[in-house]
Amino acid sequence: MDKKLARGDIQRYTEIQRYLDVARIASWEAGRIIKKGFSSTQRVEWKDDIDPVTECDREAERVIRETISAHFPEHAILGEEGGENHSNSRIRWIVDPIDGTANFTRHIPLVAVTIGVEIDGELVVGIVNNPIMDEEFYAAKDMGAYRNGERIFVSELASLKKAYIAFGLRREPQLREPMMEAANKLYGDIRTIRRLGCAALSLAYIACGRIDGLSEIGLLPWDMAGGVLILKEAGGEVTNLDGSPFDLDEPTILAGSPPFLEYLISVFKDVKLDFTGTKFGPQ
């Protein structure tokens, strides 16, 4: 840690470190499954018209859940494939076994195991592990963010004209069209837009300075939980699309180094999105 620990912080520090260690182990175990599956032909099923799932997704989540439960059987776990175990614990693990499944099914290596850990609703651990490219990003609250063991920080790029910004879209017209209008505004100011197809890696790439900002919609908690803490520990900031305080249960995110986030808020604050009739809206 960069700051001196006060006596009362030591127990919390030790607790969070344990969660980080187990989260890393769980992501490594899942990563072995994903790396093996990436080189083989996967049978693809569809949750709906556009969201694929493979047996690797299910097997990787099973291994993650088993690893967590072996160390912390009383903790709550929310996973993309297995739902929530409805524990009343103040500790919750939020798991996406393969963020970027569509990339995975097409043998595009932009995929990640992502795990976040909350204590009383506060994110304290984040993992984004890309086993295909052998890159592990991780962070713990007040302990910094790391890539393969090296400390990372957001970009210090000062010029909008040189900025790279990751961008997310949905197919639904009421979501797609307002975001395309905003993209036109972006292209008038920045260097380029990148569509990674993996929100967790987009956040990790901002954290290590590869890209400068992110605007994304149509997300669920497991898409963001691991990457958000990594970004914040690397000096970045996050909000909802309209610039309001970030909420893991809201389906939008803006992220970046502080000056770029301020710019993104100015572009997106008036974008109106209607999630009615989608899995992200009222059910």
d(CA 148, CA 153): 13
What is the reported pLDDT for 2?
A: 45
Torsion angle in degrees (nearest 10) through CA of 18, 2, 245, 256: -110
Q: Which amino acid is at 191?
A: R
Q: What pLDDT score was predicted for residue 5?
A: 47
* Domain(s) of CATH 3.30.540.10: residues in the chain: 7-151
Is the whole-model pTM more than 0.75?
yes
pLDDT of residue 132: 97
CATH annotation of 7-151: 3.30.540.10
Per-residue confidence (pLDDT) for residue 1, from 0 to 100: 42
- Provide the pLDDT for residue 283: 52
The total of other beta-carbon atoms located within 10 Å of residue 82's CB is 15
Given this model, what pLDDT does residue 70 score?
A: 97
Give the per-residue pLDDT at 83. Answer: 81
Q: Which residues face 94 on adjacent strands?
A: 78, 116
Q: How many CB atoms lie within 10 A of CB 11?
A: 9
Structural class in CATH, domain 160-268: alpha beta
- The ranges of the chain annotated as CATH 3.40.190.80 are 160-268
Residues 87-100: pLDDT tens digits? 889 999 999 999 99
Which helix (H) or strand (E) segment holds residue 213: the answer is strand 213-217
Q: What are the backbone angles phi and psi of residue 132, rounded to the nearest 5°?
A: -70, -40
Q: Can you list the residues of the chain whose pLDDT is less than 50?
A: 1-3, 5
Per-residue pLDDT at 9: 67
CA 28 to chain centre: 17
Cα-based distances in Å from 15 to 5, 19, 118, 139, 283: 14, 7, 12, 14, 36
Nearest partner of 83 among 72, 96, 74, 70, judged by Cα? 96
